[in-house]
Amino acid sequence: MLLPRIISAIVMALLFIYAVFMLEAGGFQIAIGVVVLLAGWEWARLSGITRQLGRVAFAGLVGTLCFGAAIFDLQRELLWLAPVLWLMALSWVIRYPAEKLWQSRFARIVFGLIVLVTTWSAMVVLRDSSEFLIWLFVLMGLIWGADSGAYFSGKAFGKRKLAPKVSPGKSWEGVLGGLVVTQVGIAFFAYFSGFSVWGWFLLAVIAVVTVLTSVLGDLTESLFKRHESLKDSSQLIPGHGGVMDRVDSLTSAAPIYVLLLSFVGWV
Proportion of the chain above pLDDT 70, given as a percent: 100
pLDDT in tens, 67-85: 999 999 999 999 999 999 9
Mean pLDDT rounded to a whole number for the chain: 93
> Which pLDDT value is given to residue 17?
93
> Which pLDDT value is given to residue 101?
72
Q: What is the b/e burial string over 169-179, where b = at least 16 CB atoms within 10 angstroms of the residue's CB?
A: ebbbbbbbbbb
**What would the DSSP string read from start to end of 61-120?**
HHHHHHHHHHHTT-HHHHTTHHHHHHHHHHHHHHHTTT--GGGSHHHHHHHHHHHHHHHH
- Which residues in the chain show pLDDT less than 50? none
Which residues is 161 bridged to in the sheet?
171
- pTM (predicted TM-score): 0.95
* Inter-residue long-range contacts of 55-60, CB under 8 Å, 24+ positions, other chains counted: 58/109, 58/112
> Which pLDDT value is given to residue 181?
96
pLDDT in tens, 17-27: 999 999 999 99
Please tell me the distance from the alpha carbon of residue 170 to that of residue 189, in angstroms, as a whole number. Answer: 28
Phi, psi of 168 (to 5 degrees): -60, -20
